[in-house]
Structure 1
Amino acid sequence: MQLVVFILAYPLLWLVSRLPFRIIYILSDGVYFLLYHIIGYRKKVVRENLALVFPDMDTNERLRIEKKFYKHMCDMFLEMAKTMGINAKEMEKRFTYTNIDVIHQLEKNEKRILLMASHYASWEWVMSLNARISLKGYAIYLKLGNKYFDKLVRDIRSKYGTTLIRTNESRKLIKQAVEDGEQFMLGIASDQSPMVSRARHWAPFMNIMVPVHIGGEELAKQHNLIPVFLKVKKLKRGHYQGTFKVLTENPKEVPDYGISEMFLSETEKLIREAPEYYFWTHKRWKHRNKVPKQFQ
């Protein structure tokens, strides 16, 4: 069945990858109408999330954000398919950086980097960064249930030279890379909800206590990776701008969980600045009623 679904879907994805952007966004408008107005894909989850984090916001304003989010989500997933057919030169025009010299200076100083990004704006096109730096690129990702789509996503995300590693392999592979003397950048997006049974730290995120992924911080401290937050701004359809912020140059000196909380704080700033570009379909706050006593 997995193969059948893939065989049916792949020709459509391939076709999208060959379409000009102006046609892609006409198609995206149609997908938005279908997903939002007809199917109502995860509309209840999105609406509940927005009500949770913006309780004092006018209902009409939350509805405006909700609709803009769905339009952006449709754009982003079609842009992901378009990645198969876009060349490096065009990608450079569509995903720019205000201060890539920050990364180049860390490269010059022979530092290893932990790039911390959020599920915000376009995290898929961030993978193109690897074509503009000399560091070897790694990115942690969650394996998809359909093995054929999993391979496709890995192929798309590795187009610019990034090596994707699964979550359960990350510690071993990064340890080996350090022992081999590699200079690398490790990319993670850890703003989504971990399994509550494995959560060792909770912190406020958008004023709600949530379990926090701390694996990135642990890797940074263990291997002296410099944590750098990537702020992504959507300029207009198909155009994004990234800005780097070094969270600390001495990760081992930061108190436990401090790096993770700095990451959440920076993500909050993005959400408050333009909430329509956050990935609201995830149930990020689903464990809010399970906060351990020591964190209450």
Structure 2
Amino acid sequence: MIGFSLLPLPVLYAVARGLYGLMAYGIRYRERVVLENMRNSFPEKTDAEIRQLAKGFYWHFAQVIVEILKLRTISATELRRRVTFTNPAVLGRFFPEGKQVLTLGSHAGNWEWILSAAALEYPGKAGGVYKPLMNPFFEQFMLRLRSRLGAHLVPMLSTLRDLVAHRGQGRTLSLLSDQAAGPEDHPYWTDFLHQDTPFYTGADKLAAQLQCAAVYVGIRRVRRGHYAITFTELHDGQTILPPVEHQLTEAFARQLERDIQASPSDYLWSHRRWKHKR
């Protein structure tokens, strides 16, 4: 995989063209899930429009795959050139105060590049929560890939412990908050893309317990291989946030919904986001 990662990005995008053809027309990767998710999310669109969006998703996903592999060897200079922060002060203003910030992201754009780019933008301040993989080889590969440019990684079950251990140290901890929460997670349910949708509520609980600030992370593809990150403050970490009201989760859902509607194909539609029912 390292040898593959050493190839220039233009060559990797040529490989992505092949992956796109394979996923969209060959094996039809999770086609039923992709089409069902899109039809339910955009009931106003015709079947022809949905299928066109699906093709756009497969092309987006093929690019993200090779970009993630490139992260294993990409230089800091190259990543800075390809990922820009439109308003970095929105996040950075909390660090001098010693405030911990929960950055709430999603599987939109290239979610793997964001954390490494943030580690370069805010040296020593950027961390991310991840779910450990069962396969030891891929677990180690992904850990090296995600941390090589300075990001601090925290296993999902150690999130609270890590935040407590670093309390008073201005830094950010990234949560991908759009995954499918199951009944055992006691999720917050809200209307999202025209569907009754469960969300994890960890951000609400952590912000209330530890007085963390919270920032939404929006990502926009500017052109092939280039992304713009925009932060939106959801909570300043000062006022009291009753976790039972789920204000952060609701605000995150609304921001993400707007971003997906603005650029539908750049979201991870192959994920079974709506597999759970209330």
* Range into which the TM-score falls when normalised by the shorter chain: over 0.9
In the aligned structure 2, how far is the partner of 1:229 from the partner of 1:103? 10
Identity among equivalent positions (%) equals 29
User: Which among 123, 130, 142 is matched to residue 111 of structure 2?
Assistant: 123
**Structure 1 ranges of 4+ moved more than 4 A:** none
Mapping of residues 283-294 of structure 1, within 5 Å:
283-287=272-276, 290-291=277-278
SS of match in other structure, 2:270: coil
In the aligned structure 2, how far is the partner of 1:123 from the partner of 1:251? 28
SS of match in other structure, 1:124: helix
Length-normalised TM-score, structure 2: 0.94
In the aligned structure 2, how far is the partner of 1:281 from the partner of 1:196? 21
Decide whether the 8 Å contact of 1:229 with 1:245 is kept in 2.
yes
- Asked if 1:114 is matched to 2:102, the reply is yes
In the aligned structure 1, how far is the partner of 2:194 from the partner of 2:240? 27
In the aligned structure 2, how far is the partner of 1:200 from the partner of 1:60? 34
Query: In structure 2, what is the equivalent of residue 267 of structure 1?
Result: 256
- Asked if 1:88 is matched to 2:76, the reply is yes
- Asked if 1:172 is matched to 2:129, the reply is no
- Asked if 1:226 is matched to 2:252, the reply is no
Query: In structure 2, what is the equivalent of residue 8 of structure 1?
Result: none
In the aligned structure 2, how far is the partner of 1:242 from the partner of 1:283? 26
Decide whether the 8 Å contact of 1:114 with 1:185 is kept in 2.
yes
Mapping of residues 189-200 of structure 1, within 5 Å:
189-200=176-187
Deviation at 1:199, TM superposition (A): 2.1
Deviation at 1:251, TM superposition (A): 6.2
In the aligned structure 2, how far is the partner of 1:251 from the partner of 1:131? 27
SS of match in other structure, 2:235: coil
Decide whether the 8 Å contact of 1:221 with 1:251 is kept in 2.
no
How many equivalent residue pairs?
275
SS of match in other structure, 1:259: helix
In the aligned structure 2, how far is the partner of 1:220 from the partner of 1:234? 30
In the aligned structure 1, how far is the partner of 2:199 from the partner of 2:86? 29
Counterpart amino acid of residue 244 in structure 1: F
User: Which among 87, 97, 103 is matched to residue 99 of structure 1?
Assistant: 87
Deviation at 1:252, TM superposition (A): 4.8
Unaligned 5+ runs, structure 2: none
In the aligned structure 2, how far is the partner of 1:176 from the partner of 1:113? 14
- Asked if 1:160 is matched to 2:149, the reply is yes
Q: Map Cα deviations across residues 24-68 of structure 1 (whole Å, 9 max, x no partner).
A: 111100011112211111111001100111112111111111001
Deviation at 1:212, TM superposition (A): 1.3
SS of match in other structure, 2:50: helix
Of 278-287 and 100-109, deviating more is: 100-109
In the aligned structure 1, how far is the partner of 2:29 from the partner of 2:187? 32
Query: In structure 2, what is the equivalent of residue 32 of structure 1?
Result: 20
Of 45-54 and 129-138, deviating more is: 129-138
Q: Map Cα deviations across residues 71-127 of structure 1 (whole Å, 9 max, x no partner).
A: 110100110110112110110110001111222222233322111111100110011
Decide whether the 8 Å contact of 1:227 with 1:251 is kept in 2.
no
RMSD: 1.4
Unaligned 5+ runs, structure 1: 1-12, 292-296
In the aligned structure 2, how far is the partner of 1:124 from the partner of 1:200? 25
In the aligned structure 2, how far is the partner of 1:143 from the partner of 1:251? 32
Deviation at 1:134, TM superposition (A): 4.1
SS of match in other structure, 1:182: coil
Deviation at 1:196, TM superposition (A): 2.0
